């Protein structure tokens, strides 16, 4: 009986672990940016890509980011793991990051929009955006806009947006984008993750329209899985549940596999506008496939950020 229990536990664990990125692709001479790479799946994504090429760790907390980067440098032997300050809750910081990056780096091949906040008590970013929408969607929207030309010049290039299964529970509430009329922190997270899916869809559509060589430039979104990470730190109940059920959660390494897959897998060279989970295509909610909402979200995002992105 104990052996059967152990076997059952192992197969359950294997199921939870999900898909793994098998690609051996090297990224010599290539540059990747990963936002929020000082902890959780971002850090594991950075660790993996650092075994392949140059990685820019873009984080709000420089001290934590330096600690993570030096650990990754020591482990991979790659000295090209570079920390840059980026606070996605402040458009000024995003613009400064982009300006410095563009001045220092002539190429950019992979942009992984990984950083995120979850279950925050109601608060606003430096620019007055609701925190989930501001960091998870608008911050990455602006960052991608500012780095787009460099990505195009460096093609083939990839944009990878870390979304979530939670997008199924989201809706884009244009009448109350910043949750001033009603706010639920769980739903606010879901709304922002739906925004990631819609942004990816519309971005891919626009890039396809512009590029003659479709394979050159792709944008995909993904669900990393339910990962045992610091993302739930704003909720005592979730932290408690996360610890109790940790056996049924992915480790950060397991959670990073689909991000790495979307960033490097050769078979995705010309795949764009898709949504992945466990290193394979996954089901997108009907709201996540709504092109009209995607277009409207795009123009509203541009308005809020004061940019023109045609």
Residues annotated as catalytic are 189
- CA–CA dist 302, 136 (Å, integer): 15
Residues 6 or more apart in contact with residue 20 via CB below 8 angstroms = 254, 257, 279
Residues for the chain: how many in total? 310
Contacts 24+ apart (CB under 8 A), 23-26: 23/260, 23/261, 23/264, 23/265, 23/266, 25/52, 25/264, 25/265, 25/266, 26/52, 26/53
Q: Which residues neighbour 125 within 8 Å (Cβ) at sequence distance 6 or greater?
A: 89, 90, 131, 134, 135, 138, 139
> Which residues lie below 8 Å from residue 287, measured CB to CB, with a gap of 6+?
167, 170, 171, 172, 194, 293
Nearest to 261 by CA among 16, 18, 13, 36: 18
| Angle, helix 185-210 to helix 140-153, in steps of 10 degrees | 20
127 CB-contact burial (10 Å; exposed 0-12 / middle 13-18 / buried 19+): middle
């Amino acid at each position: 009986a104990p052996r059967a229990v152990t076997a059952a536990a192992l197969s359950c664990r294997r199921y939870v672990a999900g898909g793994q990125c098998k690609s051996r692709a090297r990224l010599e001479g290539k540059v990747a940016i990963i936002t929020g790479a000082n902890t959780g799946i971002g850090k594991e994504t950075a660790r993996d890509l650092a075994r392949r090429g140059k990685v820019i760790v873009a984080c709000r907390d420089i001290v934590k980011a330096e600690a993570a980067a030096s650990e990754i440098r020591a482990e991979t032997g790659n000295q090209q793991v570079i920390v840059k300050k980026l606070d996605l809750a402040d458009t000024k910081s995003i613009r400064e990051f982009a300006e410095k990056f563009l001045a220092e780096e002539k190429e950019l091949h992979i942009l992984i929009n990984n950083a995120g906040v979850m279950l925050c008590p109601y608060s606003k970013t430096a620019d007055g955006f609701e925190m989930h929408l501001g960091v998870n969607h608008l911050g990455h929207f602006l960052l991608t806009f500012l780095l787009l030309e460099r990505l195009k010049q460096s093609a083939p290039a990839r944009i990878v947006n870390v979304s979530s299964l939670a997008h199924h529970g989201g809706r884009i509430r244009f009448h109350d984008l910043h949750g001033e009329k009603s706010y639920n922190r769980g739903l606010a997270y879901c709304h922002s993750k739906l925004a990631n899916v819609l942004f990816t869809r519309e971005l891919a559509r626009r890039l396809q329209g512009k590029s003659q060589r479709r394979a050159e430039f792709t944008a995909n979104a993904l669900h990393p899985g339910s990962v045992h990470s610091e993302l739930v730190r704003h909720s005592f109940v979730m932290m408690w549940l996360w610890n109790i059920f940790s056996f049924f959660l992915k480790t950060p390494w397991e959670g990073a596999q689909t991000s790495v897959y979307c960033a490097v897998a050769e078979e995705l060279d010309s795949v764009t506008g898709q949504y992945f989970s466990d290193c394979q295509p996954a089901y997108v909610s009907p709201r996540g496939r709504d092109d009209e909402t995607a277009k409207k979200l795009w123009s509203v995002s541009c308005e809020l950020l004061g940019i023109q992105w045609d």
